[in-house]
Amino acid sequence: MNYKIILAFLTSALFLSNSIYAQETFAPPEEKKIFRSHRSENTITVDGKLDESEWNKAETITEFIQKNPDQGSPSSFKTEVKILHSKDFLFIAATNYQPASDVIVQNLERDFNYFQNDLFGVAIDGFLDERNSTVFQVTPLGSLRDLQVIDGNRDNEDWNATWEAKTTILDDRWIVEIAIPWNASVSSYQEEN
């Protein structure tokens, strides 16, 4: 079974267009969950290891549900997500408890085919309008895919952001660590002083 986790975080709602997925997406919950991001005062090295003490201070987000094949059912594999932020970056980490022997990655291209690869992804509804979002996705082998969802039903897959992600695959899980700059002028995950 492919491992596809999409995370709606903070007060943002997740709304991706149907053209990204094979089936119609179920409606989001009426009462949206709110997750708080811990501010990191220390440098986060994006290496897929989560060995900085800051990650221990971050809230752990769990209890994800499936979109495919059994919409609304608990996810097949346990996933733990944490969110940090600094003045320059939004950091997202996910521990995906999927055995290494079950991982499927067809290629290492940027903007890989969504349907042919396991991935972890996040959509950010920065305007809180439930119609527009920026989407960041990473395969277990570290391939990146990003796109914009416009007006709830159009995708701009040609859009490329400057962001970083690294992964680590262990026997029983894979870990992804992501850094997304708040400002497009920040081009590296090493923060500017």
Q: Residue 138 is part of a domain; what is its CATH number?
A: 2.60.40.1190
Q: What is the pLDDT of residues 76-90, one digit of tens each?
A: 888 999 999 999 999
Q: Is residue 59 part of a domain?
A: yes
Query: Can you give the pLDDT at residue 17?
Result: 32
Question: Minimum mean pLDDT among 16-20, 64-68, 151-155: which range?
Answer: 16-20
Q: Is residue 189 part of a domain?
A: no
Q: What is the pLDDT of residues 153-185, one digit of tens each?
A: 777 777 888 899 999 999 999 999 999 998 854
Q: Is residue 187 part of a domain?
A: no
Strand order in the sheet with 133-138: 4-7, 119-124, 133-138, 144-150, 154-156
Domain range spanning residue 149? 4-181
Q: How many domains does the chain have?
A: 1
Q: Is residue 192 part of a domain?
A: no
Q: Is residue 91 part of a domain?
A: yes
Tokens 């996910």 sit on residue: 94
Question: Minimum mean pLDDT among 17-21, 22-26, 148-152, 155-159: which range?
Answer: 17-21
The contacts of residue 185 (CB under 8 Å, 6+ apart) are none
Q: Is residue 70 part of a domain?
A: yes
The model's confidence at residue 116, banded by pLDDT at 50, 70 and 90, is low
The model's confidence at residue 25, banded by pLDDT at 50, 70 and 90, is low
Torsion of CA 78, 84, 89, 94, to 10 degrees: -10
∠ CA 110-111-117, rounded to 5°: 95
- pLDDT value at 148 more than 90: no
Q: Is residue 191 part of a domain?
A: no
Do 141 and 108 meet the contact criterion of CB atoms below 8 Å apart?
yes
How many helices (H) and strands (E) the chain has is answered by 1, 10
Query: Can you give the pLDDT at residue 162?
Result: 87
